[in-house]
Amino acid sequence: MNSKNSPLEQELWEDWIKNRSGDAANELIANYMYLVNFHTERISSHLPSRVSKDDVKSFGLLGLYDALKKFDPGRDLKFDTYASFRIKGSIIDGLRKEDWLPRSIREKTKKVEQAAEHFEQKHQREASSEEIAEITGMSADEVETAIKDSLFGNILSIEEKPKGGKTDLKEGIGYSIPDDTAILPDRHVMQDEMKGELIEGIKYLNEKEQLVISLFYNEELTFTEIGQIIGLTTSRISQIHKRSIFKLRKSLTKMQVFN
């Protein structure tokens, strides 16, 4: 909630906060549903095709409702910002509980990572997806998909809650609300270093790959929106993104930790 809300939105918020009106809640959820759709699109782009986007959206909707219930209008924080973190956290939490990455895929990603590491040690350069495919007996497309799955798997493992002791306070990347007034110097330096590595890595992508990565990670557009800009189908943008992630896998894995 903020001062720029329309009179109708302001009335809905007041009705919800004072009376916990179910009708007001439904209207507010509908009003902020675009946040659920946005995070569903972005997170789904990193998931295997077997993971239902409807399931991801359901997790996000739970996060939006949770944000609505727990939002404190007295805090100097926009609801959009608070809800975004709750939605993202709820999706990641739901995916982790569902164990979306089966053992067969985990073994495949491990095989790809090991092959890539051995190749780099031997040849002193990063391997292409074709070279890793030759080593592992997989196709280049399977290699790129494994890297994409591995990237999001790393994020889910980072999101694991501490074991032992129950608490209502959710911690982790998805649930933490950043305090922009208290950025730790070492964290700030590390973020700059990671971004520097990503920028350097992007230079080695072709023009179309650079554009897709820039629009997705910097402008935060969905694949559908990027496709409309470039004039390609959503599936083609997904393929370009997957190939780009393979080339940038080290930098992007580090960057995702701080997003």
Across the range 79-108, mean pLDDT stands at: 82
**CATH code assigned to 7-98:** 1.10.1740.10
So where are the chain's domains? Answer: 7-98, 101-162, 182-259
Judge whether 101-162 and 182-259 match in fold: yes
Domain 101-162 has CATH 1.10.10.10: no
**pLDDT greater than 80 at residue 149:** no
Across the range 97-105, mean pLDDT stands at: 70
pLDDT band at 157 (very low <50, low <70, confident <90, very high): low
pLDDT at 101: 64
Find which of 75-89, 159-173, 186-200 is predicted with most confidence, using mean pLDDT: 75-89
Among 55-59, 106-110, 117-121, whose mean pLDDT is lowest?
A: 106-110
The percentage of residues in the chain with a pLDDT greater than 90, rounded to a whole number, is 28
Q: What whole-number distance in Å separates Cα of residue 58 and Cα of residue 93?
A: 12
Burial (Cβ within 10 Å: 0-12, 13-18, ≥19) of residue 79: buried
User: CB–CB of 17/73 below 8 Å?
Assistant: yes
pLDDT at 226: 92
Q: What whole-number distance in Å separates Cα of residue 111 and Cα of residue 116?
A: 9
Domain 182-259 has CATH 1.20.140.160: yes
pLDDT digits (tens, 9 = 90+) for 4-33: 667 888 899 899 989 999 999 999 999 999
pLDDT band at 144 (very low <50, low <70, confident <90, very high): confident
**pLDDT greater than 70 at residue 88:** yes
**pLDDT greater than 50 at residue 182:** no
DSSP 214: I
Q: What whole-number distance in Å separates Cα of residue 175 and Cα of residue 168?
A: 12
pLDDT at 197: 63
pLDDT at 175: 42
Across the range 192-219, mean pLDDT stands at: 78
Distances, alpha carbon 110 to alpha carbons 67, 76, 101, 105, in Å: 36, 44, 12, 9
